[in-house]
Structures are given as C-alpha cells and as structure tokens.
Amino acid sequence: MFEFADDTDYKELGISKVQLKRILGGKKARPKILIKNISDEVFKVGIVADTHFCSVHEKINELHTFYEIMRKEEIGTVVNAGDLVAGWGIYRGQENEVHTFGAKNQAQYVVDNYPKVKGVETFFITGNHDLSWWNKSGVDVGDLISEQREDMKYLGQYQGDLIMDGVKIRMIHADGGGA
C-alpha cells in the first residue's frame, strides 16, 4: 500500500504530491497502490475510465500526465473502462457542456487527442456515453477509434476481457448516474 509522506515530491515521476493527488482522485484522495500476487507472475497495468472527451469538463492534461507516468514506470498496458467520449443526450443540459458534436467528430477528437505513447497500448470498452451514438445512429465510436489508432484496441460494448500472463482482466462499465 502507498501512502503520501509529508513534503515529498515525486521527482522520479516529474510531478508534485499535489499533482499526483489530483491525477489519482482529487484533493481528499488517499491514493493506494495495492499489490496482490495471484501467481508467480507479476505484471503492471494502468487503469482509467470516464475520460469524457469532447466535454468542457475533460481533463486531457491530466490524462497525458498519467500516460507519461505509465511510460516512466515501464507500464505498457492501460485499460480504459469506457466513456471515452461525452456522447449526446445523456442528461438534461448536457448540450451546454459538449464542445464537439456528432459521433464521427467525437471519435476523431479522441483519435487526435488521446495520449499516444511509444510502448504503451490501451485496451478499451465503450460505456453509456459512447453508446449514446450507437443508440441514436448505429455508429460505434469504439470501432471508429480503433480503426485509426493501432495502439488502441477495442474490446466491446460495456464489457471486455483482456488476458495478461494467464490472468483475465474483465472490464465492465457501470451505468446508473453515479460517479
């Protein structure tokens, strides 16, 4: 388990304690790294979800910082558990919080702006925001993204499995309005 030491800079990551807290969950977060050996094999994987690209609330800089940490830590696999894009018509007033409109435009925005780091692959699923385009027009933004980004592997809608060193990682995108 990882706890913050007072007045510690994370120079090996090139960021401060405050920046690390923001990336890992906000001002009140107590980030933890849990290590549980389930076999003789040890592997590292990065996990992210709900990036909501094309929303005025997106945090692209923080995501790029996260991927830079993955590179520095030599972590070559990141899983994204869905909602890569903001989508459309998810909740009342959302139209006031979206800066890029249309399924193809939102997918292209991800293609152009999602971190692309040499040696790091992203395996992702789509969630309810992504699938708003599927429901409205039959367009799967996951397909559009993976067709243009060799480093981004699409595993399916709402759920997908990745097997690493014989260990299955199942991603499921929760739906229901809670953060």
**Neighbouring residues of 107: CB distance < 8 A, sequence distance ≥ 6:** 85, 141, 144, 145
Write down all domains in the chain, each with its CATH number in brackets: 1-35 (no CATH), 40-172 (3.60.21.10)
Distances (CA, A) of 88 to 55, 60, 85, 158: 10, 19, 9, 17
pLDDT, residue 22, reads 62
Instruction: For tokens 């389930």, name the residue.
Output: 38
The pLDDT tens digits along the chain (179 residues) read 344 444 445 555 666 666 666 665 554 544 444 455 556 666 789 999 999 999 999 999 999 999 999 999 899 999 999 999 999 999 999 999 999 999 999 999 999 999 999 999 999 999 999 999 999 999 999 999 999 999 999 999 999 999 887 778 888 898 765 44
In this predicted structure, what is the pLDDT of residue 126? 95
- The pLDDT of residue 19 is 67
- C-alpha pair distances (Å), 112 with each of 53, 60, 90, 108, 109: 11, 12, 24, 6, 5
DSSP letter assigned to residue 53: B
Q: What is the pLDDT of residue 44?
A: 85
pLDDT of residue 12: 58
| Pure H helices in the chain | 17-24, 60-72, 103-113, 131-137, 141-148
Helix axes 141-148, 103-113, angle to 10 degrees: 40
Q: What's the pLDDT at 178?
A: 47
